[in-house]
């Protein structure tokens, strides 16, 4: 799932436009963002947007890995490799 500080309707439009095969969480009040520490400080660049993070959460709700996403194009490959490793660890 993905998340942003946009409204449900804005997320729906964005997901449809880009063909996302997963749901987007709308967090306009930034409550989930605060809990996951993705809210930018007002002095940071683009404070209206969440920090790009990926959280790998296991079926028991435990956060297994957190990524600060810097290489957007390369991130999926890194994530899939790490997921594969985590699944082998079982």
Q: Tell me what percent of the residues of the chain surpass a pLDDT of 70.
A: 100
The overall pTM is greater than 0.75: yes
Provide the number of structural domains found in the chain. Answer: 1
Q: How far apart are CA 23 and CA 28, in angstroms?
A: 16
pLDDT of residue 71 exceeding 90, the answer is yes
Pairing state between β 53-57 and 63-68: antiparallel
Q: What is the CATH number of the domain that holds 36?
A: 3.40.30.10
Residue pLDDT, tens place only, 24-42? 999 999 999 999 999 999 9
pLDDT of residue 90 exceeding 90, the answer is no
pLDDT of residue 61 exceeding 80, the answer is yes
pLDDT computed for residue 89 by the predictor:
86
pLDDT computed for residue 85 by the predictor:
92
Asked if 26 and 19 count as a contact pair (C-beta separation under 8 A), the reply is no
Q: How far apart are CA 58 and CA 36, in angstroms?
A: 16
Q: Which of 68, 58, 54 is nearest to 22 (CA)?
A: 54
User: Which residues constitute the domain of residue 38?
Assistant: 2-89
What rounded mean pLDDT belongs to the chain? Answer: 94
Q: How far apart are CA 32 and CA 22, in angstroms?
A: 18
């Amino acid at each position: 799932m993905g998340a942003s500080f946009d409204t449900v309707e804005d997320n729906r439009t964005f997901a449809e436009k880009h063909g996302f095969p997963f749901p987007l969480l709308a967090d306009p009040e930034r409550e989930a963002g605060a809990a996951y520490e993705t809210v930018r400080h007002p002095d940071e660049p683009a404070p209206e947007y969440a920090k790009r993070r990926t959280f790998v959460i296991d079926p028991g709700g435990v956060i297994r890995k957190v990524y600060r996403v810097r290489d957007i194009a390369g991130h999926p490959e890194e994530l899939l490799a790490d997921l594969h490793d985590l699944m082998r660890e079982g």
